[in-house]
Structures are given as structure tokens and as C-alpha cells.
Amino acid sequence: MTLDKNWFSEQHADAGSAFSLKIKKKLHEEQTPFQHIEIYDTETFGKLMVIDGCYMVTSRENFIYHEMMAHPALFTHPDPKKVLIIGGGDCGTLREVLKHRDVNQAWQVDIDEAVTRLSEKYFPELCVSNGDGRAELLFEDGIKWIQESEPGSLDIIIVDSTDPVGLAKGLFGEAFYRSCFHALDADGILVHQSESPLYHPKLLKSMHKAMHKAGFNATKTHHFPQPSYPSGWWSATMACRENTGLDGFREDDVRNKIFKTRYYNADMHKAALAQPEFCKEAGLG
């Protein structure tokens, strides 16, 4: 919701908080068959995309989220070749995935094509890999797509979804995670954005439980700041078959990576896996 014509504010009634950005002007607004999308030009955070009243991406700090959705999982897998992104219509996660030269196929499956087309116009820096020959952009139901995938055909599944309401609600349950489990190879890794540990601990705990019920033996949440998201503290949760499959990562490969990142590095990877005491006590790690 807006506080006045010069500010856009996303309020979180249950937490008694809000995050606001000063707006220069509204650039675009439309109701697609799936959701309501707005694009703003802000005073200090560059462009802002809002979906159904919630912050989705800003020019200033999206790199943190996109790097942390992609690189921890890809550097944990021993040799990722085939990567699926469910959601991620702004294409920033796809850009990060395709920085890995060993990836030879990446599918991005987002139900709403408008998100991608608007990103190409207003966030072109996120879409620089859309024309990469390894990328395939599909605009369809990600749940259905993964259900129809060949068993063991994927190395990494990244669920870059909106909050667990409306269209995205089905992405946060055991049935969906079971479909992901069957689509992944023996070393496969699932990573799912998992909201704020401070504001959404019940959701985080339910995700870990559902992933284990779906067949994953190891789950681990990594943490990172995200100023425009609720509480400013965000997370992503990984899952894999092997009990010890998430205990380490290819640290030497990270330190010797040949592409640039702005947030992610080997030290941040290790730091992101450290669990605050309340997360340990609540089983959120």
C-alpha cells in the first residue's frame, strides 16, 4: 500500500513494521491474468517492481538475493550441468546460474510472461543472459512442469518464488517437494527461498519438515540480508538426499571463480550457514 503519493510502503501488520521507499514516479501498472504488477522509479533504490503489493526486486540490492539463490547451491553440487529455476521471472537468478560455464542447460519456468517482459524493459541488467544458448524461458505452471520431468534429469532446482500465498502456495508443500525429489539426480540439490527467519519461523520449520517427508535426508538454511524484504533478513533452504551432502562446498572453486559477484564469496558462503541460537533451538537450520 502507499502512505502518500511520494512513498511506496509495504506494511507487515503482524510484525508491526513497514518498509518504505520514496518514489519519483510510477513507470508502469497492469493486472495480468495472474497478478497485479507495478514498476516505480525511486529516489535511492533505482527501479522497483511490486507484485500484489509486495516488493519483488529493486535495482540497488537485488544482487544479494540473486547471488545467494544461485551460487551456494551450484558450488555445493559436485558438477551441476542441468538447472531448473521455478519462478524467477525477473531473470536475475538465471543470470547468476549462467555465470557457471559448466552449466549446459538452464530452464526458467515462470507462469507470468509479463514479469519477464517488464524486467527486460525496466531491469535490463538482470536479463543479460536471456539470449544465452543454454537458457530456455518457459511461461507455464512450474508445478506441472516438475511433475512431468524425467526422474533424475536435473542437478539443481531453484525455487525463486513469491510468498506462499496465491499462485505460489503450492510450491511450499510436501507434494511439490516430492516431485522435486524424483526429478533430481543422486547428487541433486533443491534450494527454495524461505522467507524471514525472524518473521516467518513457522513457515521455515514447516518447509524443513515437508522436505524430509518428501525424501530429502539433509536440509540446511542459509541466511543473508535483504533490505527491501520483510525484516531485512532473508533466507534460502537447501535439501539433498545424502545426510552429509550439504556439509561442505567447493571452496577452492569459489575462491578461484572466473566471474564477478558483488556479495557472494567463500567467506560469505560459510557465514551464511552459521545458525543463530534461536534458529537452532527452533529447528530452523
Measured N-to-C along each axis, helices 62-76 and 266-273 cross at an angle, to the nearest 10 degrees, of: 90
Q: Cα separation of 238 and 69, whole Å?
A: 10
Radius of gyration (Cα) for the chain, nearest Å?
18
Give the domain ranges of the chain: 7-58, 62-245+262-282
pLDDT per position as a tens digit, 256-277: 999 999 999 999 999 999 999 9
Burial degree of 180 (CB within 10 A; 0-12, 13-18, 19+): buried
Is 160 considered catalytic here? yes
Q: pTM for the complete prediction? A: 0.96
Q: Point out the catalytic residue in the list 90, 110, 112, 160.
A: 160
The answer to whether the beta carbons of residues 184 and 157 sit under 8 Å apart is yes
Question: For residues 158, 163, 164 and 170, what is the CA-based torsion angle, rounded to 10 degrees?
Answer: -40
Superfamily name with CATH number, domain 7-58: Spermidine synthase, tetramerisation domain (2.30.140.10)
**Tell me: the pLDDT tens digits for 75-112?**
999 999 999 999 999 999 999 999 999 999 999 999 99
The more confident residue out of 281 and 246 is 246
Residue 162 clears pLDDT 70, i.e. is over it: yes
Q: Which set of grid coordinates corresponds to residue 67? A: 547471488
> What is d(CA 281, CA 144) in angstroms, rounded to the nearest whole number?
36
pLDDT digits (tens, 9 = 90+) for 223-268: 999 999 999 999 999 999 998 889 999 999 999 999 999 999 999 9
Burial of 256 (0-12, 13-18, 19+ CB in 10 A): exposed
User: 169 pLDDT band (50/70/90 cuts)?
Assistant: confident
Query: Regarding the domain delimited by 62-245+262-282, which CATH topology (the fold level of the hierarchy) does it fall under?
Result: Rossmann fold (3.40.50)
Q: Return the pLDDT at 2.
A: 46
**Which secondary-structure segment (H or E) carries 141?**
none
The C-alpha cell at 179 is 516431485
How many other β-carbons are positioned within 10 Å of the β-carbon of residue 33? 8
Residue 7 scores a pLDDT above 50: yes
Report the half-sphere exposure of 90 (CA within 13 A, side-chain side): 26
Name the band, by pLDDT with cuts 50, 70 and 90, for residue 4.
Answer: low
E strand residue ranges, the chain: 7-12, 17-31, 36-42, 47-51, 54-58, 82-87, 105-109, 135-138, 154-160, 184-193, 218-225, 233-240
**pLDDT at position 164:** 75
